[in-house]
Amino acid sequence: MIKQSMIIIVMGVSGSGKTTIGKLLADLLQWEFSDADAFHSPENVEKMRCGIPLSEADRMPWLQDLQTAIKHWLQENKNVVLACSALKDSYRQFLVLDSERIKLVYLKGSYELIQKRLQERSNHYMSEKLLNSQFNTLEEPLNILSMDVAQPPQIIVQNIRTALEI
Protein backbone atom coordinates (compact mmCIF):
# COMPACT_ATOMS: atom_id res chain seq x y z
CA MET A 1 0.00 0.00 0.00
CA ILE A 2 1.29 3.47 -0.91
CA LYS A 3 1.65 5.76 2.08
CA GLN A 4 -0.57 8.82 1.75
CA SER A 5 1.21 12.12 1.47
CA MET A 6 0.73 14.99 3.86
CA ILE A 7 0.60 18.75 3.46
CA ILE A 8 1.40 20.90 6.47
CA ILE A 9 0.17 24.48 6.27
CA VAL A 10 2.19 26.69 8.62
CA MET A 11 -0.03 29.71 9.23
CA GLY A 12 0.01 32.99 11.11
CA VAL A 13 0.42 36.71 10.67
CA SER A 14 3.33 38.27 8.81
CA GLY A 15 6.47 38.04 10.91
CA SER A 16 5.32 34.99 12.90
CA GLY A 17 8.02 32.84 11.30
CA LYS A 18 6.05 30.87 8.71
CA THR A 19 8.85 30.79 6.14
CA THR A 20 11.61 30.13 8.67
CA ILE A 21 9.72 27.34 10.44
CA GLY A 22 8.34 25.96 7.18
CA LYS A 23 11.77 25.71 5.54
CA LEU A 24 13.35 24.15 8.63
CA LEU A 25 10.53 21.62 8.91
CA ALA A 26 10.65 20.76 5.20
CA ASP A 27 14.45 20.34 5.35
CA LEU A 28 14.22 18.12 8.43
CA LEU A 29 11.54 15.92 6.85
CA GLN A 30 13.10 16.10 3.36
CA TRP A 31 9.82 17.41 1.98
CA GLU A 32 9.10 20.10 -0.59
CA PHE A 33 8.67 23.65 0.72
CA SER A 34 6.37 26.21 -0.85
CA ASP A 35 5.65 29.79 0.18
CA ALA A 36 2.17 31.18 -0.48
CA ASP A 37 3.78 34.61 -0.99
CA ALA A 38 5.05 33.30 -4.35
CA PHE A 39 1.42 32.87 -5.48
CA HIS A 40 0.55 36.58 -5.08
CA SER A 41 0.08 38.66 -8.21
CA PRO A 42 2.54 41.52 -8.82
CA GLU A 43 -0.37 43.91 -8.13
CA ASN A 44 -0.99 42.35 -4.69
CA VAL A 45 2.70 42.48 -3.83
CA GLU A 46 2.86 46.16 -4.81
CA LYS A 47 -0.20 46.97 -2.68
CA MET A 48 1.37 45.28 0.35
CA ARG A 49 4.72 46.96 -0.32
CA CYS A 50 2.86 50.30 -0.16
CA GLY A 51 1.18 49.35 3.11
CA ILE A 52 -2.28 48.82 1.54
CA PRO A 53 -4.19 45.83 2.96
CA LEU A 54 -5.55 43.36 0.42
CA SER A 55 -9.30 43.18 -0.16
CA GLU A 56 -11.27 39.95 -0.38
CA ALA A 57 -11.36 40.47 -4.16
CA ASP A 58 -7.54 40.75 -4.18
CA ARG A 59 -7.18 37.55 -2.15
CA MET A 60 -9.60 35.30 -4.05
CA PRO A 61 -7.40 34.58 -7.14
CA TRP A 62 -4.48 33.94 -4.76
CA LEU A 63 -6.54 31.47 -2.72
CA GLN A 64 -7.77 29.76 -5.88
CA ASP A 65 -4.18 29.35 -7.11
CA LEU A 66 -3.18 27.92 -3.73
CA GLN A 67 -6.10 25.51 -3.76
CA THR A 68 -5.12 24.36 -7.28
CA ALA A 69 -1.55 23.74 -6.11
CA ILE A 70 -2.80 21.79 -3.07
CA LYS A 71 -5.05 19.64 -5.28
CA HIS A 72 -2.06 18.93 -7.50
CA TRP A 73 0.17 18.00 -4.54
CA LEU A 74 -2.50 15.65 -3.20
CA GLN A 75 -2.97 14.02 -6.62
CA GLU A 76 0.80 13.66 -7.02
CA ASN A 77 1.04 12.25 -3.47
CA LYS A 78 3.64 14.90 -2.57
CA ASN A 79 4.69 15.79 0.96
CA VAL A 80 4.74 19.58 1.17
CA VAL A 81 5.16 22.22 3.85
CA LEU A 82 3.28 25.37 2.80
CA ALA A 83 3.89 28.70 4.54
CA CYS A 84 0.59 30.58 4.24
CA SER A 85 -1.02 33.29 6.36
CA ALA A 86 -4.51 31.68 6.13
CA LEU A 87 -5.76 34.33 8.53
CA LYS A 88 -9.50 33.68 8.22
CA ASP A 89 -11.40 30.51 8.97
CA SER A 90 -13.02 30.65 5.52
CA TYR A 91 -9.56 30.68 3.88
CA ARG A 92 -8.49 27.65 5.91
CA GLN A 93 -11.68 25.80 4.99
CA PHE A 94 -11.07 26.64 1.34
CA LEU A 95 -7.51 25.25 1.49
CA VAL A 96 -7.98 22.18 3.69
CA LEU A 97 -9.41 19.87 1.04
CA ASP A 98 -8.67 16.69 3.00
CA SER A 99 -8.45 16.97 6.79
CA GLU A 100 -6.70 13.60 7.03
CA ARG A 101 -3.86 14.67 4.74
CA ILE A 102 -3.69 18.44 5.35
CA LYS A 103 -2.64 19.64 8.79
CA LEU A 104 -2.60 23.21 10.05
CA VAL A 105 0.03 24.58 12.40
CA TYR A 106 -0.66 28.01 13.88
CA LEU A 107 2.35 30.15 14.79
CA LYS A 108 1.06 32.36 17.57
CA GLY A 109 2.87 35.34 19.00
CA SER A 110 2.25 38.63 20.73
CA TYR A 111 1.79 41.80 18.72
CA GLU A 112 4.89 43.28 20.38
CA LEU A 113 7.17 40.37 19.51
CA ILE A 114 6.00 40.19 15.91
CA GLN A 115 6.22 43.96 15.49
CA LYS A 116 9.84 43.82 16.70
CA ARG A 117 10.60 41.06 14.17
CA LEU A 118 9.07 43.04 11.31
CA GLN A 119 11.08 46.13 12.28
CA GLU A 120 14.28 44.06 12.11
CA ARG A 121 13.41 42.39 8.80
CA SER A 122 14.76 43.67 5.50
CA ASN A 123 14.20 42.72 1.86
CA HIS A 124 10.55 41.77 2.32
CA TYR A 125 7.58 43.49 0.74
CA MET A 126 5.29 43.00 3.74
CA SER A 127 5.29 46.31 5.54
CA GLU A 128 5.19 46.66 9.31
CA LYS A 129 2.37 49.14 8.57
CA LEU A 130 0.15 46.15 7.76
CA LEU A 131 0.60 44.42 11.12
CA ASN A 132 -2.56 45.98 12.60
CA SER A 133 -4.49 44.85 9.54
CA GLN A 134 -3.07 41.33 9.90
CA PHE A 135 -4.08 41.05 13.56
CA ASN A 136 -7.50 42.58 12.82
CA THR A 137 -8.09 40.06 10.02
CA LEU A 138 -6.81 37.09 12.03
CA GLU A 139 -9.50 34.68 13.16
CA GLU A 140 -7.55 32.56 15.62
CA PRO A 141 -8.02 28.90 14.79
CA LEU A 142 -9.44 26.56 17.38
CA ASN A 143 -8.54 22.92 17.86
CA ILE A 144 -5.39 22.93 15.76
CA LEU A 145 -1.74 22.63 16.65
CA SER A 146 -0.56 25.98 18.00
CA MET A 147 3.08 26.94 18.58
CA ASP A 148 4.41 29.83 20.65
CA VAL A 149 6.74 31.78 18.34
CA ALA A 150 8.77 33.07 21.28
CA GLN A 151 10.48 29.66 21.34
CA PRO A 152 13.62 29.00 19.27
CA PRO A 153 12.83 27.80 15.71
CA GLN A 154 14.50 24.39 16.22
CA ILE A 155 12.30 23.73 19.28
CA ILE A 156 9.16 24.75 17.38
CA VAL A 157 10.05 22.43 14.49
CA GLN A 158 10.76 19.52 16.83
CA ASN A 159 7.47 20.15 18.67
CA ILE A 160 5.57 20.14 15.37
CA ARG A 161 7.20 16.89 14.32
CA THR A 162 6.41 15.26 17.66
CA ALA A 163 2.82 16.52 17.75
CA LEU A 164 2.07 15.39 14.17
CA GLU A 165 4.00 12.12 14.67
CA ILE A 166 6.09 12.54 11.50
pLDDT (tens digit per residue) in 63-110: 999 999 999 999 999 999 999 999 999 999 999 999 999 999 999 999
Mean pLDDT over residues 19-32, rounded?
97
Q: Would you say 73 and 7 are in contact if contact means Cβ atoms under 8 Å apart?
A: yes
CATH code, 7-164: 3.40.50.300
Handedness of CA 36, 39, 42, 43 (dihedral sign): negative
* Closest to 130 (Cα-Cα) out of 68, 44, 65: 44
Return d(Cα 12, Cα 86) in angstroms, integer.
Answer: 7
Q: Partners of 83 in the beta sheet? A: 10, 35
Q: What is residue 133's predicted lDDT score, i.e. its pLDDT? A: 87
Give the residue extent of every domain in the chain. Answer: 7-164
| Stretch among 42-46, 144-148, 150-154 having the lowest mean pLDDT | 42-46
Q: Is residue 24 over pLDDT 80?
A: yes
Return d(Cα 97, Cα 71) in angstroms, integer.
Answer: 8
Residue 109, CB half-sphere, CA atoms under 13 Å: how many? 25
User: What secondary structure does DSSP assign to 54-86, as a single string?
Assistant: PPHHHHHHHHHHHHHHHHHHHHTT--EEEE---
The reported pTM is: 0.93
